Structure 1
Amino acid sequence: MRKQNLWIEKGEQFFANGLSLYVNRVSERFELPEHAHDFIEICYVWAGSGFHYIEDQTIRVTQGDLFFLPVGVSHIFRPSSPNPKEPLIIGNCIFDETIFRFLTLILPLEYGLYRFREISSESDRWLQMRERSGEFGHLFESLLKEFESKRTGYETMMCGLLLQLLIGMERAMNPEIETQGDPAARRMDRIYPYVREHLHEKLSLTDVAQHVGVGERQLQRILAEHAGLSFTALLNKERIDRSCQLLADPSSSFFTIADIAAKVGIYDLKRFYKQFKLATGQTPARYRQEHEVTNDFRREMGNSPSPASL
């Protein structure tokens, strides 16, 4: 009975130009109603913490959690706190069943996504998983960048990125296969969450090594092998990624750039500007301004019916 009176979001509100694939990043609010969709949705917890209400379950969520929601599954995210300084930021990738069937069923069987073949034949089967080393976040960043820039061939690029995301989810559903006999890979599962939770601190290689339970040289080798980065490069990347999220988030508009720099652990504002421009090609102020213009344009054009999570 509950679903009969449920608000149903339609894909036609979001899909445009013949592409049934849409990506956004939003801050959750308390006043938004529970809802279902006539499309498939993958939700990624980009930052913050809160709760995900799915059907009759309540799940605590933090950065790195990911959900696969088939057509018709009811849900809503809620932040842990009403304080706008503690937002719950969610990434949404929505697409219709035609794209999903193509990527999971039409591709040759020997190259297919076997678990998703089973899932696609079932209704109301939602999934929860968690990234090991930032892999879902990196793919969502790329999906959002392609969707917003709309460069030549972005439609094909987005389908390719979605396929990578589905493969990553397939692997996450079989973590024992991915990490069996590989203690270094298991340690990566502890590195990223710890670094992200302590970005605002003066985090050192020694701190992370002690948390993971390895020597500093061994930690450097693990990072080089599994992340392709030194500790300093990984820390800088995580700090700039997090600052981008805050600058692009409308609910963080009351933070000054100095506030955001401090939140990601860079207390020298000149150094922050230099690192941010080196990584993004823009100043923090310009990056924020461009996202403000994009958000205003979407509201005016009705491209996103509300700033809510889908």
Structure 2
Amino acid sequence: MDKDRLDAFLRQIRLEERAINPEIQNRMSGSMIHFAEDLRLHGQTSRLIRLSTHGRFQPTPPHSHDYIEVMYLYDGSVTHHWDNGQATLTKGDFFFIPPGMPHWTDTCGAGDIAVNLILSTGLFDGGMAAARWLGEWYAECRKGNGQPLLLHTGMSAARDTVCRMMQEAFDPDGFSGEVVEQLFPVLLLDIRRGSDGLREMKERNVLYGVVRYIESRYRTVTLAETAAHFGYTPGYLSARMKRELGQSFSEFRQSFCMAQAALLLRESELPVTEVASQSGFTNMTHFYRLFDRAFHQTPADYRASAQRSAKHQGLDKM
């Protein structure tokens, strides 16, 4: 699924939306609904992250859930309400909703396109490293002090990353869940870099510059080079990244490079050696070992499976 197909997919009117009675009453007057994490994550390829489109043409009733919900505004606008406030999201905004907090939305029109990221609390139980700022927000939520978090990112790198996650989630193959999980830490860092709401944090934290340095040189960058550039010892820099970002230098770079490799295998005919090279790997044995660890399959088998999946999906749509 390329960007044009993703855009068409998100804008199409779905059967369940066509079936909505225009005379339907506002359901916000009904009883509050609570969604359990197991219900919403059951059967998904990723056990930690799920993406779904937000329904339009009627308001959502008051509800809460055990998981963290993140709404991304792809286009248009939508207004969220909770007991002591409201917020209107516009294109490029991310809205983080704490577990257990009752909330509801106004009616979305055809051009108001939102995607929900359902995050399992297992992200914070050793299932996946998460950025420090999100971990601190979640810790406050667990203490009962959590508030919704609205972050404005506009047309930043975060949009490209979340769209890549959508391409995987809405046109999946057997490896899409793992690719989504590989991209999630990158998304958190892109949000941190592009968000007005976190600008003060970025200015205080020199690691913002470190992350930008790594991402712009990911094919050849080394820990020693990066540490020297910022005036740190390699050991201190990697330990600080692990503490504040949830990933060491090598873990962050490998996650980013693996996501690049998976994308090239699916969307190009480049030889595996060239895919590895363009993704920042010079040692093929090391590349194969890391790829197998991430996707439990060789690059060639991954590409073949992705091509078969794309072919079958194409036949289904004929």
- TM-score w.r.t. the length of structure 2 is 0.47
Between 1 and 2, higher relative CO (CA 8 Å, sep ≥ 6) is seen in 1
- TM-score w.r.t. the length of structure 1 is 0.48
